[in-house]
Chains A and B, each alone.
Chain A
Amino acid sequence: MSNYRIQGATGEWEVVIGLEVHAQVTSAAKLFSGASTEFGAEPNSQVSLVDAAMPGMLPVLNQECVRQAVRTGMALEAQINPWSRFDRKNYFYADLPQGYQISQLYHPIVGEGEIEILLDEKDESSAKKVGIERIHLEQDAGKLMHDQHPSFSYVDLNRSGVALMEIVSKPDMRSPEEAGAYIRKLRSILRYVGSCDGNMEQGSMRADVNVSVRKPGAPFGTRTETKNVNSVRFIMAAIEYEASRQVDVLESGGTVVQETRLFDPDKVETRSLRSKEEAHDYRYFPDPDLLPVELTDAFLEECRASLPELPDAKRRRYETVLGLPAYNASVLTAEVDTARWFEELLGHLGEAHAVRASNWVISDLFGALNRLGRSLADSPVTAKQAAELLALIADGTLSGTLAKQVFELMLETGQDPGVIVEERGLKQTSDTGAIEKVIADVLAANQDKVSEYRGGKDKLFGFFVGQTMKAMAGKGNPAVVNELLKKALG
């Protein structure tokens, strides 16, 4: 639970936050047309006659988008509505060819659900549930470009008609951190489910941020809605700014106006866009071009069966079945790509080595990737290679020191650890005859130190270990070296 409070002149204020997240549905085609949804194409190259709202064109529902919304709802443990319907939201804008957006006001496909967020990854007791009000499917609009011509605006309809899920939370969050954790957790779940790629910088996920403030325990205050905020950082900044703006307004005797606002990331502030009085009358009504969406039991079952293990369940399994520390489990399950990589590694190495492997991934691998400025997706070391490296440590072929050397070489060359060990002779040796021979040489070359040691200067033991290892180019098995040295020095 968060104790976030804004200190005002009249005392403490609590902030109340609800988020409406627009998540682009992962689907090759748009919600009601066959046009492609790929990001970054030439303007107006992915526009069907339906998307351009040519006369007489009709929408046809893409079942894959329905499936993705249902799977998302199931992942959020939400009510799935077996009967839903599309409505038209009517307004004029140049990026909206039909003059209406097809959406679901009256009968959304998904009803109430919830998301558990953790404010501290190491602490299960920091968990909090945030309610989901509903999820509905709707079309995205096109994009206006105002900087291409001195007096005209250009329209790119590639996004026009792309499927969005609008995921509406309840006003359950009480701090920017909670909102940040909610967005990250939601994005994680969407990526696990595969229903949205969560790439906020490409606009695949953006949020309308509803903020109000109140004295703790008082009824909800009047809220403002800041539209289209497109990063976790900006969402948190918008909340922070908007909450203190509202406190300032209220404490100077004013009233908060229910309005739509814009977030300016450069100035880190929100600005009024339009007030409730100027709000559109959207004249929603059921779209007569589309039939109601009726979901069969077989379809629902197929959706449920297609769901992967979700982050919370995975985290619990990592802790209870694999025995990972809470922090490791949390870090490795936060993103589906990380979990997949880790599980591929375990697939090669065996789950018995999970704890050691998790430590290695989090410290050695993440450290290296961080240093190289790379992500797991373009890691120079594959999960299979990592498993081989860890296996070489486990079977005594590599010492910790040697393993670090080999890992560095793997990062540089992309070679398999076995090849590196073989080619560069980096194998650790436990051959007692060979080690005894080296020890004999070291002792012979350091007669004076041997005498001192035998005279009681115990600290010199480390010196002999170092000399022996050095003579063996680091390849001696440290345990064997220790044991034989002790015997030799008697």
Chain B
Amino acid sequence: MSDLTQLGVAAIRDGVRDGAFSAREIAEAFIAQVEKGRALNAFVIETPEHALAAADAADAARAAGALKPLSGVPLGIKDLFATKGYQTTAGSHMLEGFKPVYESTVSGNLFAAGAGMLGKLNMDEFAMGSSNETSFFGNVLSPWRRNDGGNAALTPGGSSGGSASAVAARLAPGVTGTDTGGSIRQPAAFTGISGIKPTYGRCSRFGMVAFASSLDQAGPMAHDVRDCAIMLEAMAGFDPKDSTSLDLPVPNWEANLSSDIRGKRIGIPREYRIDGVPAEIDQVWEQGIAWMRDAGAEIVEVSLPHTRYALPTYYIIAPAEASSNLARYDGVRYGQRVAPENGNLTDMYEATRAAGFGAEVKRRIMIGTYVLSAGFYDAYFNQAQKVRALIARDFEQAFDKVDLLLTPTAPSAAFGLGEKTADPIAMYLNDVFAGPASLAGLPAMAVPAGLDSQGLPLGLQLIGRALDEQGVLNAALAFEERAGFTARPEAWW
């Protein structure tokens, strides 16, 4: 094999099993690629020793006939997951240097399945952002560039920007992401890869630094649907340490993959046709509809009447929960501490949080504090909770008529760094298509569809019924087969 880093999760797993190459060779190839790709700033830290140890264990396991589901597969882990003994920052100065003494359930599950870790992936600070520009450790660059001959640096999307960039640039065959309002799906769409946010509760949140607890879900990002299915199977599962995790067996998603979706009814929500969205988004959506029809699905127009309230609802609930979740970063027990001379406890809090948090995090803490405060709680938070229930009901009613929904993932292709940093509302609009499924806790997957006129990837989103990851994966597979997306960013880094 000339370039092992072109391989995905399934190919590596199978190749190690079949003896086409050793896990050690795979790990070394990706470690070299990670080093070569430092210009992308996808990793906060590199952990080659972890990947190599797992690879050696995989090679030994193969010799002993005891291979595990992910033996030999080196992965990138988003820096939101606590990794025992390895710095875990959530992209924040607040946690710079913080090494947990515990392992998140999701990363622990992956390691138990035989995977190794290439490093911790850069991300928007505390997962708050859609461009990876809020990271304390510098923005991540997308490996993609426009075909206009310019060298404008593009965003890989966010908050799982390091994750997306690492897969697209083939620094890792698969990575973990987390999705609160689109943080897996939007960066996957921006970088031409696949990513699935499972049903809320499928993956344990234990050890995942909390942004908005009622929305946060872990999920895989990889080159294709099969790789995502393999990884999700390893990541998911009931965890008694997370009260909101679902006490259900993990289905055999990979084994049950099938692109035969004949007779499935796929809904097209009319409210997702939004003014101001580029025509190319609509065109790729129409193309996707045609592929689904070609696969034998029946296309049905449906209505999700409360869609227009989803974004404001999301931007009340998520900051409200965040304002409380981030209160623990106070300089008392771990992380940064700034203690002004002769200052009291309040002075320490203020100085620590002023220095430890970036502007976007502070903005959201303030928004969240405001919407929960006496006199505003009913008008904002309580009202948002009610609208959230209506949005979930919209989906339920739509799923009485159809099996899946097909929508755009993001309202544009990847944009340039700095283009939207001055206007938070424009930035928040990135979540317009991804947010509703998060509010309803539904499984949703981004799959690449094609390139726009500037040569940048565009993706579509499949949303399924709660717990129907299989339906989502199967439809995504049918989509993938028809899209035949093979475009790669040209290596400039």
Contact = CB atoms under 8 A, between A and B. Distances in A.
A58 B100 contact: no
Nearest to B346: A92
Contacts of A93: 345
Interface stretch (B37-45, B54-62, B115-123, B208-216): B208-216
Contacts of A351: none
A153 B346 CA distance: 13
A80 to B, nearest CB: 21
Interface residues of A, number: 30
Contacts of B208: 56
Contacts of A60: 240-243
Nearest to A98: B328
B349 A92 contact: yes
B136 to A, nearest CB: 15
A97 B241 contact: no
Contacts of A88: 324
Nearest to B102: A49
Contacts of A291: 243-244
A90 B372 CA distance: 10
A93 B346 CA distance: 9
A92 B212 CA distance: 19
Contact of B243 (A61, A92, A98, A100): A61
A61 B88 CA distance: 27
B223 interface: no
A473 interface: no
Interface string B190-212: 00000000000000011111101
Contacts of A56: 81-82, 100, 104, 205-210
Interface in A60-102: 60-61, 88, 90, 92-94, 97-100
Interface in A165-187: none
B378 to A, nearest CB: 11
B243 A58 contact: yes
B334 interface: yes
Given A55-B100, A94-B345, A100 B242 contact: no
A283 B345 contact: no
A53 interface: yes
Contacts of A301: none
Contacts, number: 100
Interface in B86-107: 88, 90, 95, 98, 100-102, 104
Given A58-B205, A285-B320, A285-B372, A94 B332 contact: yes
A217 interface: no
A155 interface: yes
Given A94-B332, A281-B373, A55 B324 contact: no
A150 to B, nearest CB: 13
Contact of A55 (B98, B214, B240): B98
B470 interface: no
B102 A54 contact: yes
A264 interface: no
A288 interface: yes
B369 interface: yes
Contacts of A283: 323-324, 369, 372-374, 377
**What secondary structure prevails in chain A residues at the interface with B?**
loop
Nearest to B95: A55
A250 interface: no
B431 interface: no
A383 to B, nearest CB: 44
B298 to A, nearest CB: 37
Contacts of B98: 55
A100 B213 CA distance: 14
Contacts of A288: 212-214, 244, 321
B332 A97 contact: yes
Interface string A233-261: 00000000000000000000000000000
Contacts of A54: 82, 100, 102, 333-334
Interface string B368-384: 01001110010001000
A49 B209 CA distance: 13
Contacts of B381: 285
Given A56-B206, A56-B210, A59-B243, A99 B100 contact: no
A289 B243 contact: yes
A61 B100 CA distance: 23
A285 B380 CA distance: 12
Interface in A147-165: 153, 155
A49 B241 CA distance: 12
A469 interface: no
Given A281-B373, A285-B377, A289-B243, A52 B324 contact: no
B44 to A, nearest CB: 15
B124 interface: no
Nearest to A93: B345
Nearest to B385: A286
Nearest to A55: B209
A98 B327 contact: yes
The residue in A49, A53, A153, A285 that gathers the most chain B C-beta atoms within 10 A of its C-beta is A285
Given A56-B205, A57-B206, 5 more contacts: A49-B102, A55-B95, A55-B98, A55-B328, A288-B213
20 contacts: A52-B333, A55-B82, A55-B210, A56-B81, A56-B205, A56-B208, A90-B323, A90-B372, A99-B327, A100-B324, A100-B327, A281-B374, A283-B372, A283-B374, A283-B377, A285-B377, A288-B244, A288-B321, A289-B244, A290-B244
Interface of B: 81-82, 88, 90, 95, 98, 100-102, 104, 205-210, 212-214, 240-244, 320-321, 323-324, 326-328, 330, 332-334, 345-346, 349, 369, 372-374, 377, 381
- Listed from nearest, the 4 A-B pairs whose CB atoms lie closest are A99-B327, A283-B372, A288-B214, A288-B213
